[in-house]
């Protein structure tokens, strides 16, 4: 899967991306990536190579590092419905595989 430089199309998209990618990154203090994306264009050699989007238009920061607690919290949040259904099935005595 190939990647291309990612640049948010507007401020709102940028705010969402920064919140999702930078908000709980362990490198947040002292990171210059956000600043460089604001003052450089995608075709500038100094535009951060860490902000990429793949063929499916899934933007991400390849420099992002998070703690295990963050990874677990994100997995729980993404799978709340599944977790709730499993609990409901146990209450009803159903077995799921």
Q: Per residue in 36-83, pLDDT tens?
A: 999 999 999 999 999 999 887 889 999 999 888 888 888 888 888 887
What is the distance between the alpha carbons of residues 59 and 3, in angstroms, rounded to a whole number?
9
Q: Which pLDDT value is given to residue 69?
A: 83
Q: Which pLDDT value is given to residue 10?
A: 93
Backbone phi and psi for residue 11, each to the nearest 5 degrees, phi listed first: -65, -35
> CB-based contacts of 59: which residues, under 8 Å, 6+ apart?
6, 8, 17, 21, 51, 52, 53
Q: What is the pTM of this model?
A: 0.68
> Above pLDDT 90, what percent of the chain?
54
DSSP code for 92: T
* Residue of 29, 17, 24, 30 lying closest to 61 (CA atoms): 17
Q: Which two tokens stand for residue 17?
A: 């991306």
Instruction: Kindly indicate the confidence band of residue 87, based on its pLDDT and cuts at 50, 70 and 90.
Output: low
């Amino acid at each position: 899967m190939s990647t291309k430089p990612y640049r948010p199309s507007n401020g709102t998209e940028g705010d969402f991306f920064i919140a999702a990618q930078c908000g709980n990154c362990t490198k947040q203090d002292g990171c210059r990536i956000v600043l460089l994306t604001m003052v450089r264009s995608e075709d500038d050699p100094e535009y951060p190579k860490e902000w990429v989007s793949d063929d499916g238009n899934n933007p991400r920061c390849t420099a992002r590092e998070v703690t295990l607690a963050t990874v677990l919290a994100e997995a729980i949040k993404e799978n709340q419905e599944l977790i709730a259904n499993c609990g409901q099935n146990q209450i009803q005595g159903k077995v799921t595989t």
